[in-house]
Chains A and B, each alone.
Chain A
Amino acid sequence: MELGVHGRPSPGVTRDQGLEMYRQMLRIRLFEEQVNELYTGGKMPGLAHLYIGEEAVAVGICQALRRDDYITSTHRGHGHCLAKGAAPDRMFAELLGKAAGYCRGKGGSMHIADPETGNLGANAIVGGSTGIAAGAALSAKMRATDQVAVCFFGDGALNQGLLYEAMNMASLWKLPVIYVCEHNRFGEYTAASEVTAGDPKARPAAWGVSTEEVDGQDVRAVHAAALPAVERARRGEGPAFLICHTYRFRGHHVGDINRASYRAAEEEQAWTHDRDPVRLLGLWLIQQRMADAAALERIEDGARTEIEAGVAFALQAPYPDPSEVTEDVYA
């Protein structure tokens, strides 16, 4: 059994849970590989920030949530949307600026929102949703539901003041919000160690927020940390802060090909080869005799079929009518 960052054994999951997590992570991986192709093939406008390598965070967290729980996401948000229940076809349509997209082509990659799955939107302002998540949590508390809100953000947002304003109120008011820091080691092209002083987990701890640090490549560890945080929040016992150590396998965005200026090829190789979250879970499932190679292949085939159908749908979908440009400015 592999060891997490604290040297604790990774917790177990049931066979069904493990297979579902594997399926979800593969969907994200394959989705992002298709995004890469669409973008480099000149079919996708704008920017694409790939989540490859970080799949265990979104899946480990979202598997601990209900459909009516809220998430807020980031500019690197495809994985969060999928893990919370969004459909690949409408996501691809949004990425291509098509009318069938989740935002009718007005949001694009960095703004996908899907209220039906509790997704309050990806956000292209780093740290921009840290208040919104607390607000959703305040709303859940005032409406006396037991919903929780999860705020995904990267290590770059650790240095945005809004996070600490919101966390202060979340702690004071015992709001059911969980801040999930996807510490992928780089904010754009700069190493976190160059821009983040001290120990990041000392910051939420100073606000009296329950804080935990986990191996973000181990979906079982992420999930095991998420479960008690979600349950505590549901019981009205206040916010939590999880730092998930992960790694951005690709560049800041698809066009960030030459990364030598900020990280070594050996480092990338070590992470992508030894710390691939999808591979790690697959190996564990096989070791536990919960699945064999053929079963995992069947899961992969199913995910690939879904993703390819989604791309085909989006490529054929029509663009929005020009008259839609002035719609939805006001409700």
Chain B
Amino acid sequence: MREVTFGQAIREALAEEMRRDPRVFIVGEDVAEAGTVFKVLSGLVDEFGRERVIDSPISEAGITGIGVGAAMTGMRPVIDIMFGDFLTLAMDQIANQAAKVHYMSGGKLRAPLVVRTTMGATRRSAAQHSQSLYAWVAHVPGLKVALPSTPADAKGLLKTAIRDDNPVVFFEDKMMYSLRGPVPDGDHTVPFGVADIKRPGTDVTIVATSSMVHTALQAARLLEEDGISAEIVDPRTLLPLDGETIIASVRKTGRAIVVDEGYQQYGVTAEIASLIADGAFDYLDAPVKRLGAMNVPVPFSPVLEDLTVPTPEAVAALAKALCGQG
């Protein structure tokens, strides 16, 4: 199978969907010749022109609103919000407009819009460029939320997002753009609401999202040295969420940890931990544990920043304790 980077996978998904469907277009800050600050869109403007790869002013609410209006009237816009932290500026248009239009109109209007944005700390970008705010988005009915962790999932989920008739907020970890991995040839799509077992195991289930999938995989390698077999479940989409696969895994292993890079307080880990408690309580040999980002604004200093994000060592230590080896 071909190996491409995460960034290349995103670019391929967009190019293929734009070739397939003339209604698909991109709008955002520095998306055309600059190819975004992360260079993910490099070259798309050469193929599709400035009419379909549209450089916008720095107006996050405006471009999101324009995307909603275009989506409601027959287009399939892909909005680029450079940093996920800037979703705050667009949140009325996402939460009050895009998310509600189908329901409020009794099903007559729809907003097939994709908001692509980034997430994640450890780039030394400090508190306003490092957050993982998908819990905010996943709180609102009417939206879908995708969190790819591999190039194959990035490509397949983005193609599915563009074809979806609902607003989708698509979070890409900016530390993963250079990550390489196999991507199937042809029209590779990944369905929403289907979790992926990234590593099979028998002793403990680690449910991990986006960047934390790789943290969990490293933790699993550490645990292997201690004779503990960890199963890594990647939900891939938070909305819809594949509870069945998560619960089936926990019923098998009897132990569960949920790891996520969003703030731990009131976050994604709590939702999934609750789901596990409901669906697998009788199978649990230990309480469900969760690990999210520290509840502090992400600090600048590398020494401090690295403390805020769950590490493989922390995940492994928690798993060992759960398995009675702590």
Contact = CB atoms under 8 A, between A and B. Distances in A.
Contacts of A106: 103-106
Contacts of B243: none
Nearest to B108: A115
B105 A125 contact: no
A52 interface: no
Contacts of A128: 65, 92-93, 96-97
A121 B65 contact: no
Contacts of B92: 125, 128, 162
Interface string B81-121: 00000000000110011000111111111101000000000
A91 to B, nearest CB: 13
B270 interface: no
B106 A328 contact: yes
A111 interface: yes
A330 B142 contact: yes
Contacts of A121: 101, 104-105, 109
Contacts of A137: 69
A135 B65 contact: yes
Interface in A102-151: 102-107, 111, 113-115, 120-121, 123, 125, 128-140, 142-143, 149
B59 A136 contact: no
Interface stretch (A39-47, A59-67, A163-171, A235-243): A163-171
Interface in A37-86: 70, 72
Contact of B65 (A104, A111, A134, A140): A134
A139 to B, nearest CB: 4
A57 B96 CA distance: 27
Q: What secondary structure prevails in chain A residues at the interface with B?
A: mixed
B70 A169 contact: no
A104 B71 CA distance: 22
B4 to A, nearest CB: 30
Contacts of A102: 105-106, 108
Contacts of B61: 131, 161-162, 165
B166 A113 contact: no
Contacts of A329: 102-103, 141-142
Interface centre among A107, A111, A331 (most CB of B within 10 A): A331
Interface in B215-233: none
A136 B108 CA distance: 16
Contacts of B72: 120, 132, 135-136, 139
Nearest to B142: A329
Contacts of A103: 104-106, 108
Nearest to A123: B97
A106 B109 CA distance: 13
A101 interface: yes
B57 interface: yes
A170 B73 CA distance: 16
B108 A113 contact: yes
Contacts of A168: 57, 59, 62
Interface string B22-63: 000100000000000000000000000001001011010111
Q: What are the 5 closest A-B residue pairs judged by CB atoms, nearest first?
A: A131-B65, A135-B69, A165-B62, A104-B106, A132-B69
25 contacts: A106-B106, A120-B72, A125-B96, A128-B92, A129-B65, A131-B61, A131-B68, A131-B93, A132-B66, A134-B66, A137-B69, A139-B75, A143-B74, A162-B93, A165-B57, A165-B59, A169-B57, A169-B59, A173-B54, A327-B107, A329-B102, A330-B142, A330-B166, A331-B102, A331-B112
B306 interface: no
Given A143-B74, A330-B166, A331-B165, A132 B97 contact: yes
A115 B54 CA distance: 27
Interface of A: 70, 72, 101-107, 111, 113-115, 120-121, 123, 125, 128-140, 142-143, 149, 161-162, 165-166, 168-169, 172-173, 327-331
Contact of A142 (B67, B68, B75, B144): B75
B8 interface: no
A157 to B, nearest CB: 13
B67 A135 contact: yes
Nearest to A162: B61
A113 B51 CA distance: 29
A104 B109 CA distance: 12
B64 interface: yes
A179 to B, nearest CB: 13
B173 to A, nearest CB: 26
Nearest to B144: A330
A135 B71 contact: yes
A120 B57 contact: no
A331 B65 contact: no
Contacts of B101: 113, 121
Contacts of B75: 138-139, 142-143
Given A129-B97, A331-B165, 14 more contacts: A101-B106, A102-B106, A103-B108, A121-B104, A131-B63, A131-B93, A134-B62, A139-B75, A143-B75, A162-B61, A168-B57, A169-B62, A173-B54, A327-B107
A125 B67 CA distance: 17
B105 A139 contact: no
B176 to A, nearest CB: 28
A149 B69 contact: yes
Among A132, A135, A138, find the residue whose CB has the most chain B CB atoms closer than 10 A.
A135
A25 B71 CA distance: 32
A105 B63 CA distance: 30
Contacts of A143: 74-75
B105 to A, nearest CB: 4
Contacts of A130: 65
Contacts of A173: 54
